[in-house]
Amino acid sequence: MFRGRIDTAALLKSVLLLLAGLTSVGVFAQSADNAPKDTYPYPIKDPFTATVITTPEPLRYPLPALDDVPAKLRVVKVLDRKPPDNFWHMRGLSYTFISAGRRAAPLIFVIAGTGAGHDGSSTLTLARAFHKAGMHVITMSSPTYSNFIVSASSNGVPGLPDDDSVDLYRAMKAAYEREKKRIKVSDFYVTGYSLGGMHAAFVGYQDSKQSYFNFKKILMINPPVNLFNSVQILDWLVTEVFPTREDFKVFYQDLMSEITDVYTNNPRLKFNDEFLYALAATYPPGQLEMKGLIGLAFRFSATNMIFSSDMVTRWGYLVPPDADIDRRTRIGIFQRTGNNKSSFTQYFRDYLLPYYSERNPGVTEEQLLFRASLQSIQEYLADAKHIAVIGNLDDIILAPGEVQYLQGLFGPERSTFFPRGGHLGNMPERIFMTNVVEYFQGPVR
């Protein structure tokens, strides 16, 4: 049933990949003569390129095909709240459950990254690896994902990981309660990538207070350290590459004519990897395009998040608070306005912070921004020997000094950093994924 399912990020990525004509061929052709000197076999030197095109097929950790994994789409009611009518098709919080069978096995929760769902491609990549290693798996959507905001976010305003982890913890309990009759669980684990990695740490902190799961091991994969730093970096990508809308229009129209050119001149090509190879061979892409694409993908998911949040709170950030919106309303204008004008940075500054300070008088912007960082729970993290981090030295979402901060906080025992891979580019890669799986299979470090 999971054949060909797509999440927004994957959909966007495929669209944008098509638009940009990115492929490993073009990229490798460019970087073949200055190959890296260390022994890590991941070949892509440029972190932005790595982030977009991820790992070439031959270097990937071998995984079972999606069709061969008994993944079940489940829906659970978490909050007693009716969704706004334009979300009429949502009957609760969706998650994916993969059983390891009747024997006792560890249950691992996987938390998706910014704007991604429980059935997104990165989430299911991790899920398949854990399934292969014999674990029960439950994948959770990111608290920034539309379905989570509408069905499981208590205030409807995602962004502060401490509050979001309370929602996540509740949702994870609801999901486990629904499955526990069917499975025997030996230990509980939790992991997450990108923002989901940060959430995993905060979920661990919640767990230390609520003690429901008593997680045995927690792994953060390519997490941000300070959320505001990371969203600013991602927003700068768009403004750097496309200072005005006219710049983006030119970029888009050039791409469309390149695509049309290649598509019409090769009448047997279909839209797949083969097409991308042909496109990149004709029009080799550069780093600037990669940066623009990453920024754009994040901007699209920011708009999804902001619109969904505003529809729950009716606070009036993007949507007029009194606008009557139902399942037939023309809502494209909110997407266009959001994409053009609103970034994650603005979401923090102009929506989340005022929204919180309205409800908590006396709270300052600095306090809220601090709460959106790992520093706010660093005493807990320093002592929590069951939490570890894995990532890359060239991760594009980390500000200068943040890798060193993570290495210092977790020490060499609990931190692993690869020389290359950008942001999650090497997550499907064999050595990286082996590290991830073996962390959960080995003894507590």
Partner 1 sequence: MRLRIPDLISKIALLLACAVAVTGCASNKEIEYTIPARVAPVPDEGWSMMKANDPWNGMNRSFYNFNYRVDRWVLLPAVRGYRAITPDPLERGITNFFANIREVNYFINSVFQLSPRKAGNAALRFGMNSTIGLLGFTDPAGAMGFTPMPEDLGQTFGYWGVPAGPYFVMPFLGPSTVRDAPGTIIEFFWYGLFAPKVFRDFWGNPAVTALRVVDTRKNVPFRYYQTGSPFEYEFVRFLYLTYRELEIAR
Q: Which residues bind partner 1 (CB under 8 A)?
A: 1, 3-8, 11, 15, 86-89, 116-117, 119-120, 141, 145-147, 245, 249, 252, 256, 259-260, 263-264, 267-268, 271, 300, 303-304, 307-308, 311, 315-321, 323-342, 346, 350-351, 354
Nearer Cβ to partner 1, position 100 or 231? Answer: 231
Quote the least distance from Cβ 106 to partner 1, whole Å.
Answer: 28
Inter-CA distances, 56 with 50, 129, 197, 434, 435, Å: 10, 17, 24, 16, 18
Q: Which is nearer to partner 1, 103 or 330 (CB)?
A: 330
Identity of the residue, 75 or 363, whose beta carbon is nearer to partner 1 in the bound complex: 75
Least distance (Å) from partner 1 to the CB of residue 10?
A: 9
Least CB distance from residue 278 to partner 1, whole Å? 13
Q: Which is nearer to partner 1, 42 or 275 (CB)?
A: 275
Residue 208, SS3? helix
**Closest distance of CB 84 from partner 1, Å:** 10
Is residue 241 within 8 Å of 291, Cβ to Cβ? yes
Task: List Cβ neighbours of 399 (8 Å cut-off, separation of 6 or more).
Answer: 225, 226, 229, 230, 233
Residue 99 vs 151, nearer CB to partner 1: 151
Q: In whole angstroms, how far apart are CA 338 and each of 114, 150, 298, 325, 331? A: 17, 19, 12, 17, 11
Least separation in angstroms between residue 336's CB and partner 1 is 5
- Contact predicate 154/171, CB 8 Å: no
Per-residue tokens: 228:
């505001």
Alpha carbon of residue 440 to chain centroid: 21
Can you tell me the distance from the alpha carbon of 273 to that of 17, in angstroms, rounded to the nearest whole number?
Answer: 10
Q: Which of 79/398 has CB closer to partner 1?
A: 79
Query: Minimum CB separation from partner 1 for residue 162, in Å?
Result: 24
Comparing CB distances to partner 1, the nearer of 329 and 434 is 329
- Taking CA 302 as the corner, what is the angle to CA 297 and CA 306, rounded to the nearest 5 degrees? 155
Q: What is the Cα–Cα distance from 332 to 320, expressed in whole angstroms?
A: 14
Question: What are the beta bridge partners of residue 76?
Answer: 93
Residue 276 Cβ, how far from partner 1 at the closest point, in Å?
Answer: 14
Q: CB of 409: closest distance to partner 1 in angstroms? A: 33
Nearest residue to 197 (alpha-carbon basis) of 122, 88, 119, 104:
122
| Between 8 and 232, CB nearer to partner 1 | 8
**Helix ranges, 61-145 (H):** 121-132
